[in-house]
Amino acid sequence: MKNIKFAKMSGNGNDFIVIDNRNGSVKLTGAGIRALCTNHFSIGADGLILAEKATSGYDFYMKFYNNDGKQAEMCGNGGRCISRFAYINGFAKKKMRFLAKDGAHEAEIMDNGNVKLRMIDPFDIKPLMKVKASGGVITGFFVNTGVPHFVTVVKNIDSVDVKKLGKELRFHRAFYPAGTNVNFVGKTAGGFAIRTYERGVEDETLACGTGATAAALALYAAGSAKSPVSLTAKGGKLRIYFNETAGKITDVYLEGNARVAAEGTICPEAYKF
């Protein structure tokens, strides 16, 4: 192992280790990624992102790993973080295009420091999906916004046992074999709040960009909100924009903050404990 330069970034409380690997010199195993993302013993993060060389017409390729060491298709908050990372480090302009496993994306660095990211058009939508769990039937909105999400509206979002119920739904046979992320949405005095059990992290996270996007679409389908939809996660507010044309949701954008917490060098000891 060798020393690797990195940035620690946060997108509304989702934290990531971000590495410039456009020269292809960084080789990480799943075990190494799990080690680096482990709190207390190493850097700690919800995920790790590599900026890699992309095909012509794109500024970079985003390779995203959850903190379990497994590569995932996309992460909305991670996409916003790596976009700001690319801008700060000079390999992308304020408006950029990049590729991820789920396809092409566009991003813009806003004047207020936020990043606005174009998501893929949602697919595999099941608006009134019923799942038996915890002794009852839970009705939710299933959609893939880059990764799969099951969104359910709750009366009191503060009282939900996100880790217990989220884990049960995440591994439910209805979503076999890929599993799903699980989002709980509740109405508050200030609008709507969201809490997320994130697949791959296997715990509640402070925010989830693809999850906020899924929740906004669920609220829209239920007639409870229209674009732009603002959602408050534990890590802060996210705003989702979209259009509907001939019954199809298009032009989906996710906006929120993307902050650099630290820059430094990963030492060989960080891989082992």
Residue 37 is among the residues annotated as catalytic for this protein: no
Q: Which residues contact 108 (CB under 8 A, 6 or more apart)?
A: 94, 95, 96, 115, 116
Residue in 37, 81, 208, 267 annotated catalytic: 208
CB neighbour class for 124 (10 Å; exposed up to 12, middle 13-18, buried from 19): exposed
Which residue is catalytic, options 37, 75, 81, 267?
75
Helix, strand counts (H, E) of the chain: 4, 18
Q: From 18, 26, 73, 24, select the one nearest 47 (Cα to Cα).
A: 18
> Has 75 been annotated as catalytic?
yes
The Cα 232–Cα 234 span in angstroms is 7
Could you tell me the sign of the dihedral formed by the alpha carbons of 236, 111, 83, 243, in that order? Answer: positive
Q: List active site positions.
A: 75, 208
